[in-house]
Amino acid sequence: MPVTSRQPLLATFVGVLFILTGCAGIKPQNTTPLPASTPEIHAQHLATIATISAFDLQTRIGVQANGRGFSGATNWKHSATHDNIAIFSPLGAQVATIDKTPNGVTLIADGKTYYADDTETLTQKILGWSLPMQGLPDWIIGRPSPSKIEQSAWDEAGRLTKLRQDGWDIEYSQYVSTSGYQLPQKIALRSQNLNLKIIVERWLLSESHP
Amino acid sequence: MKQLFIIILAIPTLAFAGGMDRLKAFYQNTTSMRANFNQTVVDSQGRKVQEVTGTMQLQRPGKFRWDYNKPYVQQIVGDGEKVWLYDPDLNQVTVRPLSKTLGSSPASLLAGSKDMEKSFTIKDEGRQDDLDWVQATPKDADSGFERVYLGFKEDALQQMELHDSFGHITVIEFTKLERNQKPNAQAFRFTVPAGADVVGE
């Protein structure tokens, strides 16, 4: 019998200290390229977003690898120690879930559970494309990861527009203002074998108190 | 099967027809359909994770078009041979042969022919909320959905429910239904927009 239960939204997010926003409406920003930033301005921007300790975001993604591809949606919950990513088909069916903890990574798809030490290996093996989880939690909020920066460009508001790191070329074409932060809304990531386009539908942030 | 059809046709004044009969009548009598739809996805804890609206059109066999309008634009077009999925924001077109999607995608399922029993196991689910329900279970385990429910009012499809293996439920409600109106043939033709990336799945 078809049953659709609707319960109140529960804050299940582990480690949430302070929920800054509900479903904040995303307002598209001007995408015109801006003059280069000064190091002071982008340091200031990075200092502001450094207070983001956790996020819960809904995205649409487009994946292209060797002429094959996938488009769909994701729901990604990130905290300092834990990542949970659910991947959905365009019609809403969940196709996979990825759970990353300090102990390793689990991927569930087609009713089977797979384990590995890192997400890159596991997604490459099971989904056929490698999700760059080493850098993505930093890249998604618009900052370089701790590894070596090969190239970067910033706009006059101090926001990243281009970044080259870990064999990835990352381009930020649109930012959105949410809860006082300037956060990426459209990101394109390219590696030798993979194109990954991400559109953020909704940001939900948690902030750590200094 | 044939006998069942004869029995149904022979008793047109049947006071109560179950979901199975509604489904058969739907596949027999609805050659084309247009409707607005509202699609809601709830997760295993009952939280609403997605709500989208749009319009759909279908013409048997194998032609359909779903236009998602809100909160973002997305098109799924079945031209009879291929199924095209276009996301303008991602600037990406994903294309698959129709034959590979018939057993899995609900859009393809509705546009299929009456031998849907090749791809689905059909079961009567009785009456609820004034609708007659059938359960369709895909025979292909990789279809993405574990069970699909179709709710009919008379011969008209009013609601679909799709259950995936993660406990998510996609509910699609149809409104402003029109049946067997001559559809615009252009609607089922997909032209790749200039500059869009095209990928196979």
Burial class (CB in 10 A: 0-12, 13-18, 19+), B108: buried
The residues pairing with A129 across neighbouring beta strands, listed in sequence order, are none
Please state the ipTM of this predicted complex.
0.76
> Where are any strands of DSSP class E within A66-159?
68-78, 83-88, 94-101, 104-109, 112-116, 149-154
CB A131 within 8 A of CB A34: no
Chain A CB contacts of B171 under 8 Å are: 4
| 8 Å CB contact of A110 and B141 | yes
Compute the distance between CA of residue A38 and CA of residue A36 in angstroms, rounded to an integer: 7
CA A110 distance to own-chain centroid? 24
Per-residue pLDDT of chain A (210 residues; tens, 9 = 90+): 444 333 333 222 222 223 333 333 344 444 445 456 678 888 888 888 888 889 999 999 999 988 788 888 999 999 999 999 999 887 777 889 999 999 999 999 878 899 999 999 999 998 888 899 999 999 999 999 999 999 999 998 899 999 999 999 999 999 999 988 999 999 999 999 899 999 999 999 877 654
Chain B CB contacts of A61 under 8 Å are: 90
| 8 Å CB contact of B94 and A95 | no
Mutate to test the interface with B, among A94, A110, A190, A197 (most CBs of B within 10 A): A94
- pTM for the whole thing? 0.79
Domains of chain A: 10-20+37-206 (2.50.20.10)
Tell me whether the omega of the peptide bond preceding residue B71 falls within 30 degrees of 0, making it cis.
yes
Choose between B61 and B106: higher pLDDT. B61
Question: CA of B193 to nearest chain A CA: how many angstroms apart?
Answer: 16
Domains of chain B: 4-189 (2.50.20.10)
Chain A CB contacts of B199 under 8 Å are: 64, 67-70
